[in-house]
Copies of this chain bind each other. A is one copy, B any other.
Amino acid sequence: MKIIALAGGVGGAKLAHGLAQIILPENLTIIVNTGDDFEHLGLSISPDLDTVCYTLAGLENPLTGWGRLDESWQVFDNVAMLGGPDWFRLGDRDLGTHLERTRRLRNGDSLSQITNDFCKAWGVGHSILPMTDDSLHTIVNTEGQGELSFQEYFVHQGCEPTVTGFRFEGAENALPAPGVIEAIANADAVVFCPSNPWVSIDPILAVAGIKSACKSKPIIAVSPIIGGKALKGPAAKMYLELGIQPSVLAIAEHYQEILSGLVFDQIDAETEPAIKALGLKTFVTDTIMQDAKGRYRLAKDVLDFVNIIF
């Protein structure tokens, strides 16, 4: 069975890692959000791509949810000492990734080529593709401050501003990265990892052709909302500010147009009838991935669900 996983950062990376423990490299393609990509100190940073790659390579920092394991901070300690901006600190090992990626992008290599080469160097066998090699920037519309770039909202302002909407700048011209549409066309099912629907999965679906390619396949989402909350990140806060009660039902309705089935946590079991009433298949399980075993277990549940319903 060939599977496509759409993923953002930490939650998505964890499930992608679980899937990669079960599915052979040739049968799994992970398509990653690049709407958060930005330039900082002249470096091209791809937070979600790096989180997914580092996680599959076993190099991720389990404490922060971003950056590298056993990281050191010499560079940014010295930037700060010189009075430079340190609201977005990059670890020394992690910085090597950004430096080399930036050099290659300037040389004309594409983000997907570079990601492929980096994955080889890190010993990652599964395909990790950026959603696009073009620029597509997630813009957060806020009360009071108007439009903010994603990292300004997310890191600099710590998700404080009240969200009124989102816009994907450049979506009209962004083409799927090479291999994305082919991989989806060859897949048996598409899995939306438990990533933020607004700013992780929606940007991927905003790239021309990706949503329609996915639509022709069974799509399973894993809810990032558990008991009305997000384990990490501002998803629940965003739903609230947009006037929607954050819940498994809200996730189901978010994707309703294209979704076949929803995996959600046992804590939300009572919502099952409402989800079924939307015409969706359901799978209730423990969706919290505490460790590598938890990732494997949830990935296995997702694949069992795909097998059962199709």
Show the binding face of A for B, using Cβ within 8 Å. 41-43, 72, 74-79, 81-85, 91-97, 99-100, 102-104, 106, 117-118, 121
Contacts and interface: CB of A to CB of B under 8 A. Distances in A.
Given A81-B121, A82-B117, A121-B82, A72 B99 contact: no
Copies in the complex: 2
A118 B75 contact: no
B118 A97 contact: no
Contacts of A99: 41-42, 75, 79, 84
Contact of A78 (B43, B77, B97): B97
7 contacts: A74-B95, A77-B96, A82-B96, A82-B97, A83-B117, A84-B96, A95-B95
Contacts of A43: 42
A118 B82 CA distance: 6
Contacts of A42: 42-43, 99, 102-103, 106
Contact of A100 (B82, B103, B117): B82
Contacts of A85: 103
Contacts of A94: 78
Q: With a 10 A CB-CB cut-off, give which of A81, A85, A92, A95 has the most chain B CB atoms.
A: A92
Given A74-B91, A75-B93, 16 more contacts: A41-B102, A41-B103, A42-B42, A42-B43, A72-B92, A74-B74, A74-B95, A74-B96, A75-B92, A79-B99, A81-B96, A81-B121, A82-B117, A83-B117, A83-B121, A95-B95
A151 to B, nearest CB: 15
Contact of A92 (B81, B82, B92, B100): B92
Contact of A76 (B72, B79, B96, B97): B96
Nearest to A81: B121
A75 B102 contact: no
A186 to B, nearest CB: 29
Contacts of A106: 42
Nearest to A44: B42
Contacts of A82: 96-97, 100, 117-118, 121
Nearest to A80: B96
A72 B43 CA distance: 21
A83 to B, nearest CB: 6
Interface centre among A77, A85, A93, A117 (most CB of B within 10 A): A93
A106 B85 CA distance: 14
A74 B100 contact: no
Contacts of A117: 82-83
